[in-house]
Structure formats: structure tokens, C-alpha cells
Amino acid sequence: MNKINISVSIFSIALFAVVFAMQSMASENPHWEYYGDNGPDAWGRLDQSYIMCAEGKNQSPINLTNMIEGSLPDLKLKYSKSGTEVVNNGHTIQVNFAPGNTMTVEGRTFELKQVHFHSPSENNIEGKSYPLEGHFVHADKAGNLAVIAILYDHGEHNNELEKAWEYMSASSGDKHMLPNKINASKLFPEKHAYYRFNGSLTTPPCSEGVRWFVMKDINNASQRQVRKFISVIPHDNNRPLQAINAREVIQ
């Protein structure tokens, strides 16, 4: 191989490395926060893929009010002890679930993927905020999302919640396997009556078309458990309330 060919080859390799690096950088999602310059008011401007955060008309969370009566089907929950891992993802504490936990409603079956938490609560009920809210995120085989929201007030110690709380880390990115697996059904209130509305993800990209089911009954967590969550996620991690617009909240 002559010198010209060697130079061309080196240049080609270098060019490929630069292009690859630029593509990798472009593919990374822009950093968002709950506060400061990258806070909720800026989410829709951070990246084109986040545009729904600014322009969406069916955004979550909301203040649930002016509910209308409707015939809502029962939530058919089939959960087992399969919450296997607790993660600090930098925005919240999340418990990941093994396959096999399902919710069937409105003729569709969704599988529970993860549960994560917000403090204070994201959704309000008749203007009332709560110290903690859990989002049980489900997906069907086509990728459609359904979220069950459970609000927690100060009260008795929550034994099932403690299985995750005992191992949650204050360091972003930390993961811990849970020696005592979590049964998601034990994080629910006794009764499963709910409010129903159509909404979105509450974090970027704020995608709409999410089915929301907010439990009417409030569950309990001790003040110590709420304080521990706040010490690990040391800033409010709730998106501000969004306009209801023309949506109906059915009960």
C-alpha cells in the first residue's frame, strides 16, 4: 500500500470516528430537570421530541375535579411477588417488575413494568395535594400505556413500601436487587374504585394517549418513609398541574 492510500485510509477512519461520535451525541436525549433552566417550563424547548410538553392538549398531571358519573369496569389485577429491583434513576425511585403481572380493563391486558414515586403528589383531587404518589406503569403488546396512580397520605408505616425503601440509594444510577420481592397489590388501598381520564406521561417526552386510573381511596405511608424519600430525591419531583381542557374525568 502506498503512502497516498495509507493517508486516505487514516483519514477515512478518522472521519468515520467523528461522524459516529456526532451521531451518538445527537441520539442522546437532552437533559431535563424539575427545576432551573431545564425545568418543566422549558421541557418543550429542549428538543423537538419533547414538543408535546409545550403543545399537548391532554397533558398530565391534573387536578381531578368536576367528575361525571359513568359506568367504569373493574380493574382485573393479577400481581405476584415480582418487584425485584429498586433504582435511583436521577429523577425518582423506581421498582422494576419481572414479567407476568397484568391488569385487564376495557377489554385490554396490560403488563406491569415498573412503579415509581413522586413527592409531593402530581395529581390533585379536588385541589388537594398529597405527600406521595405512586405510578404503576403498564404497557400492552402494542406499546400502549396505562398508569394506575395511588396517592399516599401520612399514616401507618407501609410494610410493603419499606421493602424498597430499605435499599433505595441517594446516588443517581444505583440499583439494588431486593431480597424480599414486592407484591404490587399490597401497595394498593383495599378498595379499587377509581377515577378515569386520558392523559400523558408526566415527564419528557410527555407523550399523550396514556390511560390514567387514579385510585379514589388514599393509601398510607409513615412520615418517616416520606421524609426518607425526600432525603434521597432532595427536590420536589412533581410536574406542575396541567390544564384539563375539554377532557372529562369519569368516576
Average pLDDT of adjacent 10-residue blocks, the chain of 251 residues = 41 34 46 96 97 98 97 96 96 97 96 98 98 98 97 98 97 96 96 98 98 98 98 97 97 97
**Residue 191 has what pLDDT?**
95
**Residue 246 has what pLDDT?**
94
**Residue 74 has what pLDDT?**
96
**Residue 241 has what pLDDT?**
98
Q: Are 116 and 196 in contact (CB under 8 A)?
A: no
Q: pTM for this structure?
A: 0.88
- CATH class for domain 35-232? alpha beta
Q: Is 192 a catalytic residue?
A: no
**Residue 14 has what pLDDT?**
37
- Residues contacting residue 219 through CB under 8 Å, at least 6 positions apart: 150, 151, 152, 153, 158, 187, 188, 189
Query: For residue 133, with 0-12 CB atoms within 10 Å meaning exposed, 13-18 middle and 19 or more buried, which class applies?
Result: buried
CA atoms in the 13 A half-sphere facing the CB of 133: 26
| Ranges of each domain in the chain | 1-30, 35-232
**Residue 240 has what pLDDT?**
98
Which one, of 231, 213, 229, 34, lies nearest residue 132 by Cα? 229
**Residue 19 has what pLDDT?**
31
- Cα 140 from Cα 135, distance rounded (Å): 16
**Residue 29 has what pLDDT?**
75
Catalytic, out of 91, 154, 176, 192 = 91
> What are the backbone angles phi and psi of residue 90, rounded to the nearest 5°?
95, -20
